[in-house]
Amino acid sequence: MRGYEAVYRQSIEAPEEFWREAARGVDWDVAPERIRDDGRWFPGGRLNTCHNAVDRHVAAGRGDQDALIYDSPVTGSARRYTYRELLDLVARTAGMLRGLGVGAGDTVVIYMPMVPEAVIAMLACARLGAVHSVVFGGFAAGELAVRIDHARPKVVLSASCGIEPARLIAYKPLLDAALEQASHRPAHCVILQREQCRADLTEGRDLDWADAVRDAEPAGCVSVAATDPLYVLYTSGTTGTPKGVVRDNGGHAVALHWSMAHVYGAAPGEVFWAASDVGWVVGHSYIVYGPLLAGCTTVLYEGKPVGTPDPGAFWRVVSTYGVRTLFTAPTAFRAIKKEDPSGSFMKNWDLSGLRYLFLAGERLDPDTYHWASDLLGIPVIDHWWQTETGWPIAANCVGIERLPLKPGSPTKPVPGWDVRILDGEGNECPPGVEGAVTVRLPLPPGSLPTLYRDDDRFTESYLSRYPGHYLTGDGGYVDDDGYLFVMGRVDDVINVAGHRLSTGAIEEVVSAHPDVAECAVIGMADELKGQLPVGFVVLKAGSPRDPADIERELVALVRERIGPVAAFRRAVVVTRLPKTRSGKILRRTMRDIAAGSAYAVPSTIEDPAALTEIAEAVED
């Protein structure tokens, strides 16, 4: 078996040979003769993504294997779906869409909670060659309206409600309000009625999901070009004109199938759990498509890491279903760590089958890394990627060669990703020197080929700053061993008396304090030094410490580990940090508050009151 260096070198030096071999892992209706041409992967090839994710496994004898496990602590229910059962449901749902006039190239907006029908809807669209655009369930009506106008769906698929631990969110009134605001009018809306909150249907436009699917004739798979779009996913927090990331069928299927075995080390038949939401890219790539393309069993979890009902929720799911690989965000583990610092809830469950924990979505601070690693006794693997890339840019590729881990680093670039660190003039930075993290073109299969209906914006946003390179928007460096360190968004760099400092580096130090559960460091204007870093910290549950003592210790810690140049003097204890529903801390909004600038409360926010607390802390 070849090691990482040999595999990576081949992917960069002979990409067409590398991806021709990887393309053999999926079924083609027409195999591509050319691997890459005119900036696109696998031109001339034809296939169907749903066939590759479902039908072919039934045909290969995996029909009785679990394909999808639905676990919903918020409703107290769970259900398993075999590949054969999933195939029947997807074919009937595709037939329902076909009966409503949906065909290849048409768009369908999916506005749903974490229920099996959301997964089925995505696969049904893929089956017809239709383009799905999933909008995170519970998004505000205005945000949904903007996406409906941009995607122009023929049909909207939704549900009567979503269920949070402490409340119901009625989706139908939000959808109705969005359709009133939007100029585009979909022909039909199909509503999944949930017993917790049934919706009133609009006669002539709205259909009951169960009735519509029950009467539908199953639809077969439609062959599409490899370069045809599979889905459009709008980046979270978008304001104004949405930025719709396009994913094509061929490159996506090849890259995700390859990544399951080589990045995650997952084998057919194993249980893979990405604890995310289908509304985000992680849900698209590693709840729905990746595991099913690889013939794994995927877990769909309608719950939280804590509060449904306790900090042992994740351990229950892992133990109950024999999860081999768990993928979630560092925020989830910080939440568990905050509520259960000693890990006592873990002792109630058998986790002997859990092999790897993968974390992504934001920087993995070393303290959370060490806590999870010590608690679980398995490899805890930081990896880094983006909505735009669709799959990991940097990771410890355990299916190729497990490399030594370095806390704070997602290890090395994944094969296919030619990562370069560039300075302001476009020159490569030497090891240890921070710069802009870029990827030398061409981008590998599975990454975005463009933005939906906006090629010019794609070029302007990602390709114009450094010609010949894709701009990730993150800053970082590569060390002497070739390990990548991503220190945060480029705009998370502050200037303290002429010294450029990464807020991510300061957060790393603050997070290492034994009483800190999580933190965010932002720059605030200062008359003398230009900017000063200020930390907002959440303490671990049960911490008896005086916030003033915590602040003094954190100031001393940053001074010791980064130096007086950081001028870190304030660490404000708060009860929670403002986050999106996907767990990302709203640092940009916090910076706007600190600067006294006008800001909008993002529709993606989990708890708007958290912003109020930050604003009050800033005023004090």
At 342-384, the pLDDT tens digits run 999 999 999 999 999 999 987 787 888 999 999 999 999 999 9
pLDDT tens sequence across 555-591: 999 888 777 778 899 999 999 999 887 778 888 888 8
Between 507 and 153, the higher pLDDT residue? 153
pLDDT tens sequence across 328-348: 988 899 889 989 999 999 999
Spatial contact of 132 and 110, defined as CB atoms under 8 Å apart: yes
Q: How far apart are the first and last CA of the chain?
A: 60
pTM of structure: 0.86
- Rounded mean pLDDT of 56-76? 98
Choice among 171-185, 309-323, 585-599 with the minimum mean pLDDT = 585-599
Token pair in block for residue 334 = 């910080």
Between 11 and 240, the higher pLDDT residue? 11
Between 616 and 550, the higher pLDDT residue? 550
Looking at the predicted structure, is the pLDDT value of residue 20 above 60? Answer: yes
Provide the angle, in degrees to the nearest 10, between the axes of the packed helices 141-151 and 171-181.
60
Predicted local confidence at residue 1, as pLDDT: 64
Choice among 25-39, 386-400, 503-517 with the minimum mean pLDDT = 503-517
Query: Which residues fall within 8 angstroms of residue 256, CB to CB, at 6 or more apart?
Result: 285, 289, 290, 293, 294, 390, 391, 446
Predicted local confidence at residue 542, as pLDDT: 87
- Rounded mean pLDDT of 20-40? 96
Query: Which residues fall within 8 angstroms of residue 333, CB to CB, at 6 or more apart?
Result: 305, 359, 368, 371, 372
- Rounded mean pLDDT of 421-428? 94
Predicted local confidence at residue 528, as pLDDT: 63
* Structure-token match 């806590």, residue found: 371
What single DSSP character describes residue 288? Answer: I
Q: How far apart (Å, rounded) are the C-alpha atoms in residues 117 and 93?
A: 9
Predicted local confidence at residue 240, as pLDDT: 52
Residue environment code for 163-181, b if the CB has 16+ CB neighbours within 10 A, otherwise e: bbeeeeebbbebbbebbee
Between 489 and 109, the higher pLDDT residue? 109
Predicted local confidence at residue 500, as pLDDT: 60
Provide the CB-side half-sphere exposure for 524 (13 A, CA).
Answer: 20
Predicted local confidence at residue 363, as pLDDT: 75
Between 331 and 83, the higher pLDDT residue? 83
Environment class of residue 352 by beta-carbon count within 10 Å: exposed (0-12), middle (13-18) or buried (19+)? exposed
Predicted local confidence at residue 237, as pLDDT: 39
Kindly state the helix (H) or strand (E) to which residue 260 belongs, with its residue range.
helix 249-262
Choice among 94-98, 131-135, 298-302, 406-410 with the minimum mean pLDDT = 406-410
Between 373 and 607, the higher pLDDT residue? 373
Predicted local confidence at residue 254, as pLDDT: 98
Predicted local confidence at residue 571, as pLDDT: 93
Predicted local confidence at residue 92, as pLDDT: 98
- Rounded mean pLDDT of 73-77? 96
Predicted local confidence at residue 140, as pLDDT: 78
Share of the chain above pLDDT 70, in %: 97
Spatial contact of 450 and 46, defined as CB atoms under 8 Å apart: no
pLDDT tens sequence across 249-275: 999 999 999 999 999 999 999 999 999
- Rounded mean pLDDT of 127-155? 92
Mean pLDDT over all residues of the chain? 92
Estimate the share of the chain in helix, then strand, then coil, as percent rounded to the nearest 5.
35, 25, 40
Q: How far apart (Å, rounded) are the C-alpha atoms in residues 235 and 223?
A: 28
Predicted local confidence at residue 487, as pLDDT: 82
Predicted local confidence at residue 9, as pLDDT: 98
pLDDT tens sequence across 197-243: 999 999 999 999 999 999 899 999 999 999 999 999 998 533 456 78
Predicted local confidence at residue 101, as pLDDT: 98
Token pair in block for residue 246 = 């396009």
* Residue 126: CB atoms within 10 Å: 30
Domains of the chain, start order? 4-303+383-476 (3.40.50.12780), 497-619 (3.30.300.30)
Looking at the predicted structure, is the pLDDT value of residue 498 above 70? Answer: no
